[in-house]
Amino acid sequence: MGNLNRQINKHLLNSVVSGDVPAATDPKTSRPLFIHTGLGLALIGNVASEANPPMYVNIKPGTAGTEQVTTLSLAKLYNPSVEEYEFAITIKRKGKNDGFTSEVRDTERIYNYLKTNFATTVAGAFNAADVTDILDTLVDRINADAQLGDNHILTGACVVAALVAAVAGAYSVFSGQVTGMTTDVIVQAVNKGVAGDVTLTADSISTVAELINIWNIAHPTNTVALLSGDGTQVPTADIVLDNGANAVDAYITLTAKDASLLFEVNVDVAYFNKDVLGTPVVAIKPTGTTDEIARIFSVRPDQAGTIVTQPLASTVYAEVEIVYRNEGYDNVSASAFNQREQREVIYVPNGYVDALADPLVAALKLAALTIYKDGVAWTA
């Protein structure tokens, strides 16, 4: 049988230079040593072809994270007989439940706009002026909902709203001449959009007009037309239409203020289209943030006045985990032994563990021989 005794120490470094991690060898075992002079570490490393190497090193770079993003566009149609419309967006901030904050419950905020004056005069889609007014007003009201202060974390909008203007779209077009032609022509898609970026394949027999006719018969919903020029010319190279652009209605983006924050948007589907750009951007929780590192090394009340190293502001930290195991000798039974595991966890800015040549990484590799990055052997 065996017993495992664990000891975990955590260290914070804001920089590393070569002098902090000098190369060294244990004089008794001739094994390499990992030394950090500032932290007072001296750990015996591995040797080649060792069945059970005592040292394991894994580096987990911190990540900045990705903020959740949701988009909304206007779906409601105008009816001249209706005097007013109320447009409302409900945003639910999800509780973090991370053990570090009091944000353990969901909170909802409702933003609305009662519109009574309209530039639109006919039934159907609201015109551009009304769409811009509706969406821009809601954007302003969301962004004006500011947090009251550090002691009121559940107040205020949890997102930043922005209005993205409509894009009119563009026709795909070919203007000029290709091999076999002597004068310019203009061939344009009948409808706006990237679907009009097509190629009329030359066969050195058909005229420009005939190539257009062949295409239109095969693609009746995506036709092209000769706008100008001599369509009786016979091209010997393909005619390529390009630069088409899809029309996009104006829409709102709602972006979480923090990558660790999740939210839900609830709207009346008769009034708004959700996720108009396709799949919404899913939040990816950040790791190694200044806040996270500060919590790890915060001073407890009973240690008030203690001076500790503070993490750098707006910096992403990597976690360097060094696991070292050795057998203890306090159990002399022939059938048992105690194995001691020592873990040294070093938090250091990502920039100091970017490459194998970085001093800290090189010193760890010299001692451990093989080191890992996110659990995968780091070889290049």
Q: Which of 90, 87, 96, 95 is nearest to 108 (CA)?
A: 90
Cα 45 from Cα 324, distance rounded (Å): 8
The per-residue pLDDT for 332 is 53
Could you state, in order of their start, the residue ranges of all structural domains in the chain? 2-63+290-377, 69-163+248-274, 171-240
Cα 86 from Cα 90, distance rounded (Å): 13
102: number of Cβ within 10 Å = 10
pTM: 0.65
What residue ranges of the chain have pLDDT lower than 50?
A: 1, 334
Q: Which of 288, 292, 293 is nearest to 374 (CA)?
A: 288
The per-residue pLDDT for 192 is 94
Pairing, β 337-349 against β 2-12: parallel
Q: How far is CA 238 from CA 8, 101, 216, 220, 233, in A?
A: 69, 64, 16, 20, 13
The per-residue pLDDT for 100 is 56
The per-residue pLDDT for 95 is 82
Cα 235 from Cα 205, distance rounded (Å): 8
Sign of torsion, CA 356 361 362 365? negative
Cα 29 from Cα 48, distance rounded (Å): 14
Helices and strands of the chain, counted as H and E runs:
4, 23
The per-residue pLDDT for 338 is 58
Q: Tens of pLDDT along 209-227?
A: 999 999 999 999 999 999 9
